């Protein structure tokens, strides 16, 4: 009995305009409840929406970045339903004519292969407010600060076949919206949200199975877990002879399971009709060209460039272009080192390795790094010119991070310069050989493993500063006798 998983994702990304999509209220996060809700946001009698052009620009920017058709004439429609966090009793969205039509996003799978995920459409809409249930007894508090924040809803084709593919796609879209500077991608604050539509079917079947929609997943990790749980659940149901119910389910991160939403599901008849308070959005070739001119180098383009000009592997290029800032940091380091393929690889290892680890440990963004590109390149150039070994460099790195000094200053003050003087190394080797006659005899009689012992002892004797390559070479010679 083999099953195929089919996944489609709906992503809601908050656009980082300064004011809301249909009113002039600020969109800043974290203010006191209802301090950023104007009469328009509160749906007072007589108020009217006015479109924020920047939201349109950002949506078009996204569309161009995913190679999508931009709809010349798109229409806002009212999605009607009752809920206290929806002041008008309808959400202004786009239905039949979204601003962005069919596009696509290429993702790289674990095995390195590429897959194209279709984007069905992306449209503009307004966000609802928030319902707060804690600390109010039997009451629910409604905070309308968020009501009216612009969203772009990005709908994928059901092209993903595993939770891993879904996460890869999600991460790629996340990276892209941050590159485009249209969304800050903050999943904790809710500016980047994901709903997953999950179904299963027999391998080879051409009809899609009944899908369940999972909501409330606010991290990449949870997306993967939620989808895997749901797939297993659905397979269980079907193998037990049951039917999958088309419903909305919530992911519970504490229990690691999805649950059917308790509430009596509102009839999903939203009675969409074009909003008579807003004109159709007409974008012409000139407008599109002006937006296209503001597109930055996109992640795929930057990664391809790193592969072509710096000789990085696709994997490394992918990691280093996961954010525009990281890509810029890396590129500067490589440039300062001369941009040859050798230094590019070295820089890649360090940026993706030690630097990434340090940033992670201290919960910092690349832009907040305590070692900037110039100082890191300073450290790496001392490896390149053999002043220090890679191993010593790690210690220098930590000292640079902690003390804020340049590599040279630390190498100098701690006397960490590599020993490359053949005579000095030979002397140290002679010393160690003399002090360890037993091991020497054993080695010469065949115990090759003891080579490591001599390496270690000699390194210790030189305070770790012997050039490892030279040490190895000279040690081999001397041990051979």
List residues binding other proteins (CB under 8 A).
39, 42-51, 78, 80, 82, 84, 87-90, 142, 269, 271-273, 276-279
CB of 266 to other proteins, least distance (A): 10
**Rounded distance, CA 306 to CA 81, Å?**
49
9, containing H or E segment: strand 3-14
CB of 264 to other proteins, least distance (A): 9
Our CB check for other proteins shows the closer of 129 and 378 to be: 129
CB of 28 to other proteins, least distance (A): 22
Indicate the burial class of 279 (C-beta count within 10 angstroms; 0-12, 13-18, 19 or more). Answer: exposed
DSSP designation for 363 = T
Our CB check for other proteins shows the closer of 45 and 240 to be: 45
Our CB check for other proteins shows the closer of 47 and 237 to be: 47
Contact 296, 176 (CB under 8 A): no
**Rounded distance, CA 303 to CA 29, Å?**
32
**Rounded distance, CA 6 to CA 160, Å?**
6
Our CB check for other proteins shows the closer of 26 and 464 to be: 26
Our CB check for other proteins shows the closer of 87 and 299 to be: 87
CB of 214 to other proteins, least distance (A): 24
CB of 184 to other proteins, least distance (A): 28
CB of 73 to other proteins, least distance (A): 15
Show the CA angle centred on residue 412, arms to residues 328 and 344, nearest 5°. Answer: 25
Our CB check for other proteins shows the closer of 84 and 353 to be: 84
328: phi then psi, degrees, rounded to nearest 5? -65, -40
CB of 83 to other proteins, least distance (A): 8
Our CB check for other proteins shows the closer of 47 and 479 to be: 47
3-class DSSP state of 236:
helix
Our CB check for other proteins shows the closer of 240 and 276 to be: 276
Cβ within 8 Å of residue 24, ≥6 positions away: 38
- Please give the sequence-ordered ranges of beta strands (E in DSSP) within 204-298, or none if there are none: 212-217, 248-252, 257-260, 273-274, 281-282
**Rounded distance, CA 351 to CA 333, Å?**
9
CB of 11 to other proteins, least distance (A): 26
Query: Would you state the structure tokens that stand for residue 96, as one six-digit string?
Result: 């039949």
Our CB check for other proteins shows the closer of 53 and 413 to be: 53
* Residue 301: CA count within 13 A, CB half-sphere: 9
CB of 82 to other proteins, least distance (A): 6
DSSP codes, 102-147: SEEEEEE-TTS-EEEEEEEEEEEEE---EEE-TTSTT--EEE-SST
CB of 273 to other proteins, least distance (A): 6
Our CB check for other proteins shows the closer of 80 and 210 to be: 80
Residue listed under structure tokens 């269980």: 236
Q: For residue 124, give the nearest of 156, 89, 100 by alpha carbon.
A: 100
Our CB check for other proteins shows the closer of 40 and 198 to be: 40
Our CB check for other proteins shows the closer of 78 and 375 to be: 78
DSSP codes, 273-312: EE-TTS--EE--HHHHHHHHTT----HHHHHHHHHHHH--
CB of 22 to other proteins, least distance (A): 9
4: phi then psi, degrees, rounded to nearest 5? -115, 135
What is the DSSP pairing of strand 248-252 with strand 257-260? antiparallel
CB of 275 to other proteins, least distance (A): 8
- The alpha carbon torsion through 352, 386, 310, 62 (nearest 10 deg) reads 30
């Amino acid at each position: 009995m083999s099953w195929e998983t089919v996944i489609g994702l709906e992503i809601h990304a908050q656009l980082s305009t300064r004011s809301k999509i249909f009113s002039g209220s600020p969109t800043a996060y974290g203010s006191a409840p209802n301090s950023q809700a104007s009469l328009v946001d509160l749906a007072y009698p007589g108020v009217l929406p006015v479109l924020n052009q920047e939201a349109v620009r950002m949506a078009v920017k996204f569309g161009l970045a995913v190679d999508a058709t931009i709809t010349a004439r798109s229409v806002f429609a009212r999605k009607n339903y009752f809920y206290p966090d929806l002041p008008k009793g309808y959400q202004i969205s786009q239905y039949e004519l979204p601003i962005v039509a069919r596009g696509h996003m290429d993702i790289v799978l674990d095995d390195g292969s590429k897959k194209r995920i279709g984007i069905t459409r992306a449209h503009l809409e307004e966000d609802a407010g928030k319902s707060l249930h804690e600390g109010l007894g039997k009451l629910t508090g409604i905070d309308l600060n968020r009501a009216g924040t612009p969203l772009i809803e990005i709908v994928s084709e059901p092209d993903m076949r595993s939770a891993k593919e879904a996460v890869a796609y999600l991460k790629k879209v996340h990276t892209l919206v941050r590159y485009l500077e249209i969304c800050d991608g903050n999943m904790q604050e809710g500016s980047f949200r994901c709903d997953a539509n999950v179904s299963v079917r027999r391998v080879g079947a051409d009809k899609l199975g009944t899908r369940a929609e999972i909501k409330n997943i606010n991290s990449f990790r949870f997306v993967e877990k939620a989808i895997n749980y749901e797939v297993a659940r659905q397979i269980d149901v079907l193998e037990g002879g049951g039917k999958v119910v088309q419903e909305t389910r919530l992911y519970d991160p504490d229990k690691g399971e999805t649950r059917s939403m308790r509430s009596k599901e509102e009839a999903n008849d939203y009675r969409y009709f074009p909003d008579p308070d807003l004109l159709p959005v007409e974008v012409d070739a000139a407008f599109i060209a002006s937006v296209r001119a503001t597109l930055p180098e996109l992640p795929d383009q930057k990664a391809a460039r790193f592969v072509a000009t710096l000789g990085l592997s696709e994997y490394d290029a992918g990691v280093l272009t996961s954010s525009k800032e990281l890509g810029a940091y890396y590129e500067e380091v490589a440039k300062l080192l001369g941009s040859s393929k050798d230094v590019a690889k070295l820089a890649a290892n360090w940026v993706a390795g030690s630097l990434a680890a340090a940033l992670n440990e201290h919960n910092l963004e690349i832009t907040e790094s305590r070692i900037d590109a110039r100082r890191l390149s300073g450290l790496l150039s001392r490896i390149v010119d053999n002043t220090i070994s890679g191993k010593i460099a790690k210690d220098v790195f930590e000292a640079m991070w902690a003390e804020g000094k340049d590599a040279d200053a630390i190498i100098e003050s701690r006397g960490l310069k590599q020993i490359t003087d053949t005579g000095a190394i030979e002397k140290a080797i002679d010393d160690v050989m003399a002090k360890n006659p037993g091991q020497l005899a054993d080695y010469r009689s065949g115990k090759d493993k003891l080579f490591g012992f001599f390496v270690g002892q000699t390194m210790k004797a030189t305070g770790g500063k012997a050039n490892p390559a030279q040490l190895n070479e000279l040690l081999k010679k001397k041990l051979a006798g």
